[in-house]
Amino acid sequence: MHAYLRAAAGPGALRAGPFLIRFDTHDDAPPFNYAIPDDTASPTPGEVAALVAAFRERSRMPRLEYVPQAAPGVEAALLAAGFVPEGRYPLLVCPPDEVVAASAPPDVRVRLVSGDAELWQVARVMHEAFDAPEAGEHDVARLRRILTGGGLVAAAVDDASGQVVGGGQLGRPHEGVAEVAGIAVLPTHRRRGLAGAITALLTREGARAGVGRPFLTPADDAAARVYARVGYRQVGEALHISLP
């Protein structure tokens, strides 16, 4: 999973000592700008300072998203430099052959999508559901890159209106591993099983895309319960930590 996070940073990632940094040139939102440490890292104060400087030079908040179990020598060095944990999130996995069937309500269809019009709608739903600024072309381009890299994008489409009311993605696979992320449902359609249905579809179809080890990190207990109902179980934790 740690190797996947580093691979997902993309070819434009920046190296700063024992850290690989993913920067989004179009979006300064924290989820798109973070570092992943090497598994064997025991960073010195100077290496942490260089990491901070790389973020500051690009007007980004210094932060990391990683699995502490994979890099146990990192957190103490970050705390000593003033970093503050944003949260510790359960790391959940579900082999595709163990996913529990989850059906959408009869008036909503959950399916994989790839066309530009649907990608735009999925991007807009994700941004609205997560109270983010209005989606732009770079957000749609991000979804296109997922598809180009062998990942998947799913949409929940309301039959009556024809509009996308939910969405999610399975990242570009790396050695059979990929992250299920961006599971979003509009307020008008929540508590109807759509998040579970989207997650189950991406997990099941991920096997055809070569993903035998999908994982996700729910933001809160309510989301974790949704994913548990479709078969996900905890194997560790992910740490999000930043320098205010």
Instruction: State the chain's mean pLDDT as an integer.
Output: 94
pLDDT bin (cut points 50, 70, 90) of residue 115 is very high
Within 8 A by CB and 6+ apart from 71, the residues are 2, 37, 38, 39, 40, 41
Q: CA nearest 55: which of 75, 76, 28?
A: 28
137-164 pLDDT, tens digit per residue, is 999 999 999 999 999 999 999 999 999 9
The CATH homologous superfamily to which domain 96-236 belongs is Gcn5-related N-acetyltransferase (GNAT) (3.40.630.30)
Within 8 A by CB and 6+ apart from 79, the residues are none
CB 234 within 8 A of CB 223: no
pLDDT bin (cut points 50, 70, 90) of residue 178 is very high
* Residue 199: predicted pLDDT: 97
Q: CA nearest 22: which of 48, 49, 60, 53?
A: 60
Residue 155 has phi, psi (to 5 degrees) of: -135, 145
187-216 pLDDT, tens digit per residue, is 999 999 999 999 999 999 999 889 999 999
Domain boundaries, the chain: 2-82, 96-236
Q: How far apart are CA 127 and CA 186, in angstroms?
A: 10
pLDDT bin (cut points 50, 70, 90) of residue 89 is very high
- SS3 call for 229: helix
* Residue 133: predicted pLDDT: 84
